[in-house]
Amino acid sequence: MFTHDTLQGRVALITGGGSGIGLEIATTYARLGASVMLAGRNEERLQAAAQSITQAGGAAAVCKTDVRNYDEVKHTIETTVDRFGSLDILVNNAAGNFICPTAGLTPNGWRTVIDIDLNGTFYGCHAAYPHLKASTHGGCIISIITMLGVSGWPGAAHAASAKAGILALSRTLAVEWGGDGIRVNTISPGPIGDTEGVKRMYIDSGLGELEEKKTALGRFGRKQDIANAAVYLASDLGAYVTGDNLIVDGGRWLKYVAQ
């Protein structure tokens, strides 16, 4: 287990921090000493999330943000620095997704997901760069992707393409910004139970049980599994890790390839 001061003194911005995996990362970071800024479109949900963190003794604030808008993202990053004094960790977690066979996907449907996932991640990295470079802990970017971006994702070409793009962006920045002390990594969760992602992709279409069987471990992961990986990468424990894609998927990827 991590000690209570694992992220002491760090400031983290988590996009999509008001729900699901993003909220779990934010809650865990705050418990381990970080100050967290939660960004997303639904302000009410963000406020409720921040309140649950502060009630548990953590430091949290919110900034309503649509990551498709560069100016809003830049404003959120500046608000974070004004409020907490620095920005040390950026977690690009916000995403949009829906199942739609490619032949029926409209250009706007394609653009919407590319805008949220890929462009939103680029905007965050770009606007955060000077602050991450100034971090006394060494800057850290973590983007949440999926190995379905590597394998291809029938029924979700938009999300597959966006996530593959984020992987390429992250590996590029790991090299470009390594000299600035900024580490850039991705995490690839497998199917995580009790999330909007798994609901949309598998539960709603009755494929939940099949998806669990497709993992080597035979079950969905927990949000905490992803938060633990995000702590490791953001903390000094991961100080020499950059350009990595940390797969936390219960063997879903390997089973896909091996069987």
Binding interface with ligand NAP (CB under 6 A): 15-16, 18-22, 40-42, 45, 65-68, 93-96, 116, 144, 146, 189, 191-192, 195-198
Task: Tell me which of ligand HXC, ligand NAP, none is bound by residue 7, counting a contact when its beta carbon lies within the kind-specific cut-off of 5 to 8 angstroms.
Answer: none
Closest residue to ligand NAP using C-beta atoms? 20
Other C-beta atoms lying within 10 Å of the C-beta of residue 240 = 7
Binding span for ligand HXC by CB under 6 A among 7-15, 106-114, 119-127, 164-172: 106-114
Q: Nearer to ligand HXC by C-beta: 90 or 94? A: 94
The yes or no reply on residue 157 touching ligand HXC (CB under 6 A) is no
Which of ligand HXC, ligand NAP, none does residue 161 bind (CB under 5 to 8 Å by kind)? none
Q: Which residue is nearest to ligand HXC (CB)?
A: 96
Q: CA torsion angle for 140, 180, 160, 222 (degrees, to 10)?
A: -10
Size of the site for ligand HXC (CB under 6 A): 18
Residue indicated by tokens 């921090």: 17
**Burial (0-12, 13-18, 19+ Cβ within 10 Å), 22:** buried
Residue 253 contacts residue 147 (beta carbons within 8 Å):
yes
What's the half-sphere exposure (Cβ side, CA atoms, 13 Å) at 205? 12
Binds 28: which of ligand HXC, ligand NAP, none (CB < 5-8 Å by kind):
none
Structure tokens at 113: 């997901």
One residue of 95, 142, 184, 231 binding ligand HXC per CB under 6 A: 95
